[in-house]
């Protein structure tokens, strides 16, 4: 079997990968942070690039939105290209009033009501841990670089909860689980990593919050917040 969605020579992809949802974010990272970046995938306009960051080879490629999309790209990277470590980087909504817009959240685990895990593992699981190894590197680098992060559970939704109220799902979350942020991919990524005995975690920047009124970021503010997350991810995965 050959990969369908990422089509390139195996040697063109590094074993360390940053996985933003937006392929144009991958392009931005390659152009602004990587040296000698080379376009290695453009199937379905899901741009991927490989270059070096401080001498270490790294690939950055888009994953699209939602569990099914990130699962396809993560599976192909792990299975066909021998990728070992993936850090998803993206945006998220605040799930807790203490987490503010522009804050960065690192997912120690992900909770979801998705049927995805039953489909691929025939098990009913709603919580899955991310890689302790990657998380420790990120937490250490965050202190070293003075880039604060919140560390806790990420809620992975199958609907964009800015448009659709999901309080009926939130009410079903066990009381001992207190998600910090809401996004749409981490749960799927973590399960694919677990399935293939690989490493994955997720860093997200809070881009919106129902707990804050009139908190619309300018494009410059949004970019600066995302840049901090990008730098933290690059420094961590290559350390």
**For residue range 5-43, what is the model confidence (pLDDT) as tens digits?**
999 999 999 999 999 999 999 999 999 999 999 999 999
d(C-alpha 15, C-alpha 55), whole Å: 14
Contact status, residue 74 vs residue 19, Cβ threshold 8 Å: yes
d(C-alpha 50, C-alpha 203), whole Å: 20
Q: What is the pLDDT of residue 225?
A: 80
User: Residue 177 falls within a domain, yes or no?
Assistant: yes
User: Closest Cα partner for 89 from 115, 69, 107, 113?
Assistant: 107
Query: Which of residues 75 and 170 earns the better pLDDT score?
Result: 75
d(C-alpha 210, C-alpha 202), whole Å: 22
pLDDT at 218 over 80: no
Which of 84-93, 149-158, 204-213 shows the lowest per-residue confidence on average (mean pLDDT)?
204-213
User: Residue 3 falls within a domain, yes or no?
Assistant: no
Q: What size, in residues, is the chain?
A: 239
Q: What is the pLDDT of residue 134?
A: 98
The residue-averaged pLDDT of 165-181 equals: 91
User: Residue 184 falls within a domain, yes or no?
Assistant: yes
Percent of the chain with pLDDT over 70: 98
Q: What is the pLDDT of residue 168?
A: 87
User: Residue 113 falls within a domain, yes or no?
Assistant: yes
d(C-alpha 64, C-alpha 191), whole Å: 17
**What CATH number should be reported for the domain holding residue 172?**
3.40.50.1580
The boundaries of the domain holding residue 172 are: 10-237
pLDDT at 216 over 70: no
Q: What is the pLDDT of residue 229?
A: 97
User: Closest Cα partner for 162 from 206, 226, 112?
Assistant: 206
Query: Which of residues 183 and 170 earns the better pLDDT score?
Result: 183
User: Residue 4 falls within a domain, yes or no?
Assistant: no
Query: Which of residues 104 and 166 earns the better pLDDT score?
Result: 104
User: Residue 1 falls within a domain, yes or no?
Assistant: no
Pairing of strands 199-208, 16-20: unpaired
Tokens of 202: 């997720």
pLDDT in tens, 39-81: 999 999 999 999 999 999 999 999 999 999 999 999 999 999 9
User: Residue 55 falls within a domain, yes or no?
Assistant: yes
Which residues does the annotation mark as catalytic?
Answer: 208
pLDDT in tens, 130-157: 999 999 999 999 999 999 999 999 999 9
User: Residue 46 falls within a domain, yes or no?
Assistant: yes
**How many structural domains comprise the chain?**
1
């Amino acid at each position: 079997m050959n990969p369908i969605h990422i089509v390139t020579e195996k040697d063109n992809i590094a074993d360390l990968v940053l996985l933003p949802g937006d392929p144009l974010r991958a392009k931005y990272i390659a152009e602004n942070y990587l040296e000698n970046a080379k376009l290695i995938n453009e199937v379905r306009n899901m741009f991927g690039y490989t270059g070096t960051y401080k001498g270490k080879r790294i690939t950055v490629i888009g994953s699209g939105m939602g569990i099914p999309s990130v699962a396809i790209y993560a599976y192909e990277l792990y299975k066909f290209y021998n990728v070992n470590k993936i850090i998803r980087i993206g945006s998220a909504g605040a799930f807790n009033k203490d987490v503010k817009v522009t804050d960065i959240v690192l997912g120690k685990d992900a909770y979801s009501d998705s049927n995805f895990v039953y489909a691929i593992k025939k098990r009913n699981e709603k919580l899955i841990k991310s890689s302790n190894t990657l998380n420790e590197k990120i937490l250490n680098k965050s202190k070293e670089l003075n880039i604060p992060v919140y560390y806790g559970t990420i809620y992975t939704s199958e609907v964009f909860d800015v448009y659709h109220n999901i309080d009926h799902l939130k009410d079903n979350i066990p009381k001992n689980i207190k998600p910090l942020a809401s996004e749409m991919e981490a749960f799927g990524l973590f399960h694919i990593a677990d399935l293939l005995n690989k490493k994955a975690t997720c860093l997200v920047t809070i881009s919106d919050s129902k707990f804050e009124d009139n908190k619309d970021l300018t494009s410059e503010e949004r970019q600066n917040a995302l840049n901090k997350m990008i730098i933290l991810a690059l420094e961590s995965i290559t350390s």
